[in-house]
Amino acid sequence: MNTLSPSPIKIMLVDDHPMVRDGLSACLSFYDDIAIVGACNDGTEVLQTAKQCLPDVILMDISMPNQNGLEATEIIKETFPDTKILIFSMHESSEFVKNAVQAGASGYILKDTDSEEVYQAIKTVAQGKSYFGSNIAQMLLASPTNPSNERLTAREQMILSHIATGQSSKAIAHTLDISVRTVEAHRRNIKSKLNIDNLAELVRYAIEQGLVNSA
């Protein structure tokens, strides 16, 4: 997609504060090549709303009452791998940025970013590139990620907990309303990250780490 494209970039806003959404909408309405097609309050509603409005870019808040934006990001990426997620948050730590990238986000900007920069960020991620706000980028440079420690994403951890309680991939797929193939993909990632290759070991690991209760 490029800036000269006749069809504007479809934007969905995910934020539990309607006032913030309204303020941002007001600012973005001055740009002709983007259109706000949907909005929702919480991570649990993201997938449903996205299915209706099929956005190109989702502006995602992190702190939300029920399910945070990072988990919601993973869930969107399972079903809509081509949809770009731009995190739009108040949180400034590099840990949030790392987690966002791990979850599949294409960019990370702070909520007090000027609307002009928000616009630029949207355009950049819509083109398939990454965008990090200027202060965020600095922070990432200052603390290079530690590649030795493979951590599970929130979604992977949830799926591991289901595996550990004895559910089959099919059952998990049904519970989480995703395809069996997606579950299997997660399962492979989990095994590879934890360096474990059989189910019994996986269950034992989950119990040992206190993810599920053995009792």
Edge to edge, the sheet with strand 34-40 lists: 34-40, 9-14, 57-60, 84-89, 107-110, 131-132
For tokens 């702070």, the residue is 110
CB neighbours (10 Å) of residue 201? 13
Nearest approach, Cβ of residue 194 and other proteins (Å): 6
Exactly one of 5, 17, 168, 201 binds other proteins (CB under 8 A); that residue is 17
Nearest approach, Cβ of residue 54 and other proteins (Å): 20
CB burial of 80-100 (b: ≥16 within 10 Å; e: otherwise) equals beebbbbbbbebbebebbbbb
Does 175 sit near other proteins (CB under 8 A)? Answer: yes
The candidate with the shortest Cα–Cα distance to 153, out of 128, 130, 118, 185, is 185
Contact, 76 vs 48, CB < 8 A?
A: no
Nearest approach, Cβ of residue 128 and other proteins (Å): 27
Does 204 sit near other proteins (CB under 8 A)? Answer: no
Q: x/- site string to other proteins, residues 118 to 157, per CB under 8 A?
A: ------------------------xx--x--xxxx-x--x
Nearest approach, Cβ of residue 93 and other proteins (Å): 4
Q: x/- site string to other proteins, residues 155 to 174, per CB under 8 A?
A: --xx-xx---x---------
Query: Which string of DSSP letters, residue by residue, matches 20-62?
Result: HHHHHHHHHTT-TTEEEEEEESSHHHHHHHHHHH--SEEEE-S
- Give whichever of 26 and 199 is closer to other proteins, judged by the CB atom: 26
Region near other proteins per CB under 8 A, out of 4-12, 20-28, 32-40, 123-131: 20-28
Contacts with other proteins by CB under 8 A lie at 16-17, 19-20, 22-24, 26-27, 29-30, 44, 47, 62-63, 66-68, 70, 90-96, 99, 111-112, 114-115, 142-143, 146, 149-152, 154, 157-158, 160-161, 165, 175-177, 193-194, 207-215
